[in-house]
Amino acid sequence: MSDTDTPRRRTRGGGGAARRAERTAVSVETAKYIERNIPNFEVLTEEALQIIEANAETVLAEIGVNFVDNPYALDLWREAGAEIDGERVRIPRGLARELCKTAPSTITQHARNPERSVEIGGKSLVIAPVYGPPFVRDAEGGRRYATMADFNKFVKLGYMSKWLHHSGGTVCEPTDVPVNKRHLDMLYAHMSLSDKPFMGSVTEPSRAQDSVDMCEILFGGLDGRTVMTSLININSPMTFDSIMMGALEVYARANQACIISPFIVGGAMAPVSVAGTLTQVLAEVLAGVAYSQLVRKGAPVIMGAFVTSIDMNSGAPTFGTPEASHITYGAGQLARRLGLPYRSAGSFCGSKLPDAQAAYETANSLNMGLLSGVNFMLHGCGWLEGGLVSSFEKFVMDADQLGTLHHFAKGVSIDENAQAMGALREVGPGGHFLGCEHTQNNFKTAFWRSDLFDYKPFETWADEGERDTVALATARVEKQLNDYQQPHLDPAIDEALRAYVREKKDSMQDSFI
């Protein structure tokens, strides 16, 4: 070997070191929300859609829905032309659909970092993490009640996750903080530990108002901007309670978006048939969205559909099933006919551990959401045990796999570079494409690559300890939390938020009810 070869070899080695350094550098890059270039998958014929829509109108007109403990809601419905019988509201055919027409078809949710604001509706897909579990699980501590420290860790992981567009809401329920005060700590965590968009509190109308007030501080006044997207569950079948509707009323008046979402467990909270469940979902959504427009015409709302079936032997909810997919696809078609943004799907599974069952069910659920035209996907990562557990390992496993949705949604390019005619001419019969110019120009972006999975040869994998995916995920959780750097927040705004939280907490006794 000549002396002139040595510097070139060292140069290549230096380049490799630079590339390794680039791969291991701290990054808080967030991909833009998904914009689909693929068609939606539709399972219902035009005839089926018309039958379901007609049946939903019959449910509203003849069976009705209940607005409980809410005289204000009953008065609004009465003025709108509905028939009121006690707390039962029967809505004449066509009235709810007509009221829904004033709801916007797309929503801009502003983040405190304008580069991370999102569009919800049309062909977009915005993904948020798991919501609501009282328990958490990790490899070290196992299953346990969630704490505020756990909550903060999940917010940090969400901020560090490239493919996650939204910080979410109750990523776990911190049981070490009083019920009447924990929403303040959760909101402050989303506002200070992340600069992605987030959700408000819905567990009591006054807590929704706290959410609006804190956003006024964070954003220096709302000026009509939508800065929160919050979850309003319907007590299926066909019951609208005063807690959820009270929160909706607060948000609607403040022009903050609400996900009006039936909570469906087929066979328990809805009929066992797909068509019957879709009829109930549509009736509940029509009534809920229409009510939001009675509170404030033009209030931003999202049509939700949380759908699962039930195991007829144990009574436990099941996930990733064909029937849930049929309902999710069908609800997407109904949402588009209403001209409303659509929320459904997530990293749903019934498994107790982040294992093969969790992976199969989650993959089915995530792909279903992408293909059904979902615009806002709650529970996009971290869901375990039917929603009872937020898992740290599964959070990063799911967040990694969200990248596949981004790449699949791009569709198939057919531009001159994608046609690759130059490569076909250069290589010809019997050659290979590894060294051709087209491959060299495109290899960095040609294929999606997991940041978590192990692609090494067996020998290397064995030498590194034969780690399975859970072990890799545990290491990734630790690395992301170690690499976390808090996004800047104006100190004056931060102190104003802290003062608001202190004042509100001091104004009430602790309550764990």
- Domain positions in the chain are 28-411+448-512
Structure tokens at 242: 């005063």
How many of the other CB atoms lie within 10 Å of CB of 82?
A: 24
For the chain, percent of residues with pLDDT exceeding 90: 88
* Residue whose token pair is 């005063």: 242
Task: Among 3.40.190.10, 3.60.15.10, 3.40.50.1820, 3.20.20.480, name the CATH number for the domain at 28-411+448-512.
Answer: 3.20.20.480
Specify the pLDDT at position 321. Answer: 86
How many of the other CB atoms lie within 10 Å of CB of 42?
A: 16
Kindly state the DSSP code that residue 343 receives in the 8-state scheme.
E
For residue 371, give the nearest of 137, 147, 43, 132 by alpha carbon: 43
Weakly modelled stretches of the chain, pLDDT under 70: 1-27
Kindly state the DSSP code that residue 268 receives in the 8-state scheme.
T
Structure tokens at 292: 């939001």
Q: Return d(Cα 270, Cα 281) in angstroms, integer.
A: 9
Q: Return d(Cα 135, Cα 145) in angstroms, integer.
A: 4
Given a contact cutoff of 8 angstroms between Cβ atoms, the answer to whether 365 and 346 are in contact is: yes
pLDDT tens-digit profile of 468-494? 999 999 999 999 999 999 999 999 999
Q: 126 - beta bridge partners?
A: 376
Specify the pLDDT at position 269. Answer: 87
Q: Return d(Cα 311, Cα 2) in angstroms, integer.
A: 72
pLDDT tens-digit profile of 313-323? 877 888 888 88
Given a contact cutoff of 8 angstroms between Cβ atoms, the answer to whether 394 and 135 are in contact is: no
Q: Return d(Cα 431, Cα 434) in angstroms, integer.
A: 9
Specify the pLDDT at position 2. Answer: 35
pLDDT tens-digit profile of 333-371? 999 999 999 999 999 999 999 999 999 999 999 999 999
Specify the pLDDT at position 264. Answer: 85
Specify the pLDDT at position 308. Answer: 84
Specify the pLDDT at position 16. Answer: 53
Specify the pLDDT at position 19. Answer: 52
Q: 229 - beta bridge partners?
A: 257
What is the chain's length? Answer: 513
